[in-house]
Amino acid sequence: METNEEGKAEKFFKEFGKKMDQFLVEVKDAGTRAEADLQLKYEELKAAAEKLKKEAENKERWKEVEISLKKAGSELENAFKSAFKKKENS
């Protein structure tokens, strides 16, 4: 009876070991894939940062944007004043 119990325990640990080995292989593969994905995302972000840096260096373009935003802000201010001013004849 004792030998039978030892056989079951050995079989259990043998199967457990195989499953752990397989699990570690899968974890390693997942880590490799995740690393590759992160590297790709990093490269994309780096490229986007370079593009933004080049656009920021174009002062004339940003000056036009600034002027347009100031104009839009002024028009929005006038719209609010018109919408919320009290009627003078009331």
Chain centre distance of CA 76: 34
Residues 6+ positions from 4 with CB-CB distance below 8 Å:
none
Asked if the model's pLDDT at residue 65 lies above 60, the reply is yes
Q: Could you give the 3-state DSSP secondary structure of residue 85? A: coil
Q: What is the mean pLDDT of residues 14-18?
A: 93
pLDDT, tens only, 21-55: 999 999 998 888 888 888 999 999 999 988 888 87
Tokens at 56, concatenated: 């920021």
Q: Distance (Å, rounded) from C-alpha 12 to C-alpha 20?
A: 12
Residue bearing the bigger pLDDT, 61 or 66: 66
What pTM, to 2 d.p., does this model score?
A: 0.45
